[in-house]
Amino acid sequence: MVEASHETAVVDGYRVHYLAAGDPADPPLVLLHGGIVDAASVSWGAVLGPLARDYRVVAPDLLGYGRSAKPDVTYSLDTHVEVVEAFVETVGLDRPAVAGISMGGGAALGLALRSPARVDRLVLLDSYGLGTELPNGGLTRLLSKQGVTNRLAIALMRRSRGFTKASLGTIVHDTDRLSAEAVDAVWEEAKRPGVGKAYRSFRAAEVGPDGYRTDFTGRLDGLDTPTLLLHGECDEVFPYHWSDRAAARIPDAEFQLLEDCAHWAPRERPDAVVDLIGEFVPR
């Protein structure tokens, strides 16, 4: 297994922690994690090492997450896109492939649309930014306006590994098939000071009266970046038809539906994710 090193970059005045693995001479691949209780090692921990056999893998903790700084800013998707763009430049990555899951997928897509010359290939896993429908309608809208439920859930996760595993049932198809390492990664991340702050801000910024505010669907026909869209068949957070529809609109795109998988493909189907990225991104 290729070991990852812990690195730090100062991006727009903020400290951004990232994991780096693989030969610097290999093609660069940036991995962007999702929201709620997440970090580079949480969503990407099972695939980072295998991918680093063929790529120079760089996986940042997004601003407000993991070991990165948690400033008092509005954590909208635009904020994450801006920081990721500056991060790629600061670290000195030349036209990397960029893969993102959920919120990180939205950031990856936003980067490719904003600065297409910076992104060589795009991999979107259960991505945000491809539709407006809220998973639970009014309930999601209500929760976006208050943080009590999220704070309570994180407090319970800190106290109980069992509760943490059960909570993952909202994003995975079968929690009993998750590795112990995946559950432990979330459980430990839930104990980190300041966890949840960035997600609550993101949710408040991105959920409006008509659904999700960021929807790139109308701009996809102008996306020149070759794109692979992966989506779990059982995803209840963002429906897989978002990715299927997006693939039909992007000029150079492929769509792959993942069976026995919900919203957390790098942990539910790590081998498939590694294989599909390896087939799509030039080595």
Q: Which has the minimum average pLDDT: 32-46, 74-88, 125-139, 178-192?
A: 125-139
Tell me the average pLDDT across 118-135. 95
pLDDT of residue 150: 81
Q: Which two tokens stand for residue 213?
A: 């505010």
Q: Tell me the C-alpha distance between 101 and 123, whole Å.
A: 9
Q: Tell me the C-alpha distance between 212 and 215, whole Å.
A: 7
All structural domains of the chain with their residue ranges: 5-280
Q: Which two tokens stand for residue 130?
A: 């491809």
Share above pLDDT 70 across residues of the chain, in percent, rounded to a whole number: 95
Q: Which has the minimum average pLDDT: 53-67, 125-139, 183-197?
A: 125-139
66 closest CA partner among 194, 204, 203 = 194
Share above pLDDT 90 across residues of the chain, in percent, rounded to a whole number: 90
Angle in degrees, 0-180, between the axes of helices 77-91 and 103-114, rounded to the nearest 10: 70
Tell me the average pLDDT across 151-172. 94
Residue 220 phi, psi (nearest 5): -70, -30
Q: Tell me the C-alpha distance between 124 and 103, whole Å.
A: 10
pLDDT tens-digit map of 242-281: 999 999 999 999 999 999 999 999 999 999 999 999 999 9
Tell me the average pLDDT across 135-144. 54
pLDDT at 146 over 60: no
Query: Which CATH number among 3.40.50.1820, 3.30.910.10, 3.30.1240.10, 3.40.630.40 corresponds to the domain 5-280?
Result: 3.40.50.1820
pLDDT tens-digit map of 217-237: 999 999 999 999 999 999 999
pLDDT at 180 over 70: yes
190 closest CA partner among 158, 160, 168, 156 = 158
pLDDT at 74 over 50: yes
Say what the pTM is: 0.95
pLDDT tens-digit map of 90-107: 999 999 999 999 999 999
Burial class (CB in 10 A: 0-12, 13-18, 19+), 217: middle
103 closest CA partner among 216, 241, 26, 199 = 199
Calculate the CA 264 to chain-centre distance. Answer: 9
- Kindly report the average pLDDT of the chain as a whole number: 94
Q: Which two tokens stand for residue 22?
A: 């693989």
Question: Which residue type occupies 250?
Answer: I
34 closest CA partner among 281, 193, 263, 228 = 263
Tell me the average pLDDT across 45-69. 97
CB atoms within 10 A of CB 115: 14
pLDDT of residue 141: 45
User: Taken in order 43, 47, 49, 54, is the CA torsion positive or negative?
Assistant: negative
Q: Where are the alpha helices (DSSP H) in 207-251?
A: 240-249
pLDDT at 139 over 60: no
Q: Where are the alpha helices (DSSP H) in the chain?
A: 40-44, 48-51, 77-91, 103-114, 138-144, 148-159, 161-167, 180-190, 197-206, 240-249, 265-268, 270-280
Q: Tell me the C-alpha distance between 200 and 151, whole Å.
A: 9
